[in-house]
Amino acid sequence: MIALPHVRVLARDPLPVGPRLARGWRVTSYEAAGAAVRLGRRSPAIDRLLFAAGVRRGAFVGAWNPLSRLRPRRWNDAMLGRLRALARRAGMPFREGAGHAARPAWVEHHLLLLADRRRCAVLAHRFRQHAILLVRLRAPSRLIVLR
């Protein structure tokens, strides 16, 4: 596993993370409802979003491209729809979001779940995601590696 600041690994034997994936996490801007944050940084806009929602923390969780294996857009959108439905059923409020980077140019849609990290991790694990980006009021974001 490549060493990254602001990363916590929960898996006993995490899948190997190559330099491309590690760089992708570092250069991605995670956005929801007009508020954006980058790994290891604090975002006053995210603080305002969390405060307005009446929560202290949340996590960016995706359903696209499980285990970083590219899938067709239609399939990815269907999986994100299932994630939305499960979050609603579990009573987890969320905001629509996306992660994007300029170089290389890419976008991946996800949700900012306004819930406890453990509940977010359960959903992310179900959709075979490597990690979630945890955001907390007045704190830098952290990547939680699940696999």
In terms of phi and psi (left: phi > 0; alpha: psi -120 to 50; beta: otherwise), the region of 124 is: alpha
| pLDDT tens string 75-95 | 999 999 999 999 999 999 999
Please answer whether residues 134 and 59 qualify as being in contact, where contact means their C-beta atoms are separated by less than 8 angstroms: yes
Q: pTM, whole model, 2 decimals?
A: 0.87
| pLDDT tens string 129-147 | 988 999 999 999 998 888 7
Q: Distance (Å, rounded) from C-alpha 20 to C-alpha 71?
A: 18
Nearest CA-CA partner of 84 in 54, 57, 113, 46? 113
What is the residue type of 1? M
Over residues 8-19, the mean pLDDT reads: 57
State the number of CA atoms in the 13 A half-sphere of 67 facing the CB: 6
Annotated domain spans of the chain: 7-145
